Amino acid sequence: MKRVTVILLCLGLVLTANAQKYMTRNGYIGFFSGTPIEDIKADNNQVASVIDISTGEIVFQVLIKSFKFAKALMEEHFNENYLESEKFPKSTFKGKITNLAAVDFSKPGQYEVIVEGDLNIHDVTNKVSVMGSIEVIPGGINANSKFNVVPEDYKIKIPAIVRENIAKIIEVTVAIRYSPVDNK
Amino acid sequence: MKKSVKIALGALILLGLTGLGIGLYLYNKQDKNLQKAEPDFVITSVDLQKAFEDDEAVALTKYVNKIIEVTGTVESIKGVEGNIASVVLKTGSGLSSVICTLSSQSDPVELVSGNEVTIRGECSGFLMDVLLNNCTIIK
């Protein structure tokens, strides 16, 4: 009986140590547009993301409708006029950590990473390369990044009348806490 | 003559002020507080998730942007930085849940995994889970 317990314990340890995929379904992505006229901020706490630490592959999926704004009218314009969330409900990113060797997933600590991949917004896909950090913590992984997106690159049309209210470059913030896929 | 000009001027100013008022009101309008809003649908988390799994396209047109009052068993509660928490509700599927992201005014207190809860929220769609946003706990 005792031996069985020991075997089970060892197996458990091996399984945990071998967790290759980490995920979240309530990650955070927000963006910020700052102009002298007004600051606009939106938050999305419903981000789904998976990271495979053996290959460095990383995938994000968000619903455009999940972005919340301080003002209801901004949210309406964002969905109906700019991002056309009825037609293009999702935004996705598929990419890879290019310097995976720099991260030791078995050792808690903070590591700087470069992630390259395809960012799809408003049904337009662009290659992007962003800087971020991976923090290995007991029982999980934190990932953070800040990068810029230019709405014009994604064929997002902003009417001339509000052009001065919306920044030419939008700052995007990503904050994710991943858990191993096995223990959901 | 003078009097009529005065009246016209007064009416014009009044009209301008009303316009300005409506404009400011619309511009500053906040998200609906769902505590007082009438739900468009009252449904269990099991049925809601099943609707999306059976036919996502149909469920999307039916539920997205609608106010949904969902009742289900709490699977887990997830805190997020910036202290907005999500309540994950159990469904018939082991992989896909109903995730209710609470509004910033809402407080996720006294929720225990395994308990039944009723939450009102706006449906934003379906990724791996059915997502409700701006949620408030009804009971």
Domain ranges of chain B: 1-30, 41-137
Are residues B133 and A68, on separate chains, in Cβ contact within 8 Å?
A: yes
When CB atoms are compared, the residue of B28, B29, B99 closest to A46 is: B99
Can you give the C-alpha Rg of chain B in angstroms? 22
For B24, the closest chain A residue by CA position comes to A73
Are residues B81 and A73, on separate chains, in Cβ contact within 8 Å?
A: no
Are residues A46 and B65, on separate chains, in Cβ contact within 8 Å?
A: no
| φ, ψ at B20 (rounded to 5°) | -60, -45
In a domain, A2, yes or no: no
In a domain, A6, yes or no: no
What is the distance, to the nearest Å, from the Cα of residue B80 to the centroid of all Cα atoms in its chain? 18
Distance CA B8, CA B88 (A): 60
B34-93 pLDDT, tens digit each: 888 899 999 999 999 999 999 999 999 999 999 999 999 999 888 755 566 899 999 999
Tell me the CATH number at A94.
Answer: 2.40.128.110
Are residues A72 and B125, on separate chains, in Cβ contact within 8 Å?
A: no
Please give the pLDDT value at position B11: 92
Distance CA B81, CA B43 (A): 30
- Residue A3 C-alpha, separation from nearest chain B C-alpha, in angstroms: 32
- What is the number of domains present in chain A? 1
Would the CA dihedral through A162, A165, A167, A168 be positive or negative? Answer: positive
Are residues A25 and B30, on separate chains, in Cβ contact within 8 Å?
A: no
When CB atoms are compared, the residue of B28, B81, B125 closest to A175 is: B81
Are residues A26 and B101, on separate chains, in Cβ contact within 8 Å?
A: yes
In a domain, A139, yes or no: yes
> In this structure, are residues A39 and A32 in contact, taking their beta carbons and an 8 Å threshold?
yes
Q: Which residues of B touch A62 (CB under 8 A)?
A: 127
Please give the pLDDT value at position A184: 41
Q: Cα angle vertex A74, ends B102, B32, to 5°? A: 40
* pLDDT tier for residue B95 given thresholds of 50, 70 and 90: confident
- Residue A66 C-alpha, separation from nearest chain B C-alpha, in angstroms: 6
Q: What is the largest CA-CA distance in chain B?
A: 79
In a domain, A7, yes or no: no
Q: Which residues does chain A have with pLDDT short of 50?
A: 1, 14-15, 183-184
In a domain, A10, yes or no: no
Are residues A66 and B133, on separate chains, in Cβ contact within 8 Å?
A: yes
In a domain, A14, yes or no: no
In a domain, A160, yes or no: yes
Nearest Cα to Cα of residue A19 among A176, A133, A173, A136: A136
Please give the pLDDT value at position A1: 46
Q: Is A165 on the interface with B (CB under 8 A)?
A: no
Average pLDDT score over chain B: 89
Mean pLDDT value of segment B106-110: 66
The boundaries of the domain holding residue A43 are: 20-180
Q: Which residues of B touch A75 (CB under 8 A)?
A: 31
The length of chain A is: 184
> In this structure, are residues A146 and A171 in contact, taking their beta carbons and an 8 Å threshold?
yes
- Residue B72 C-alpha, separation from nearest chain A C-alpha, in angstroms: 18
In a domain, A162, yes or no: yes
Percent of the residues in chain B that have a pLDDT greater than 70, as a whole number: 92
Q: Between 2.40.50.140, 3.40.50.720, 3.90.1150.10, 3.20.20.140, what CATH number should domain B41-137 receive?
A: 2.40.50.140
Interface A–B counts its CB contacts (< 8 A) at 67
Beta-carbon-side half-sphere exposure of residue A182 (alpha carbons within 13 Å): 11
- Residue B32 C-alpha, separation from nearest chain A C-alpha, in angstroms: 8
Q: Which residues of B touch A68 (CB under 8 A)?
A: 31, 133-134
Q: Which residues of B touch A49 (CB under 8 A)?
A: none
- Indicate the SS3 state at residue B112: coil
The length of chain B is: 139
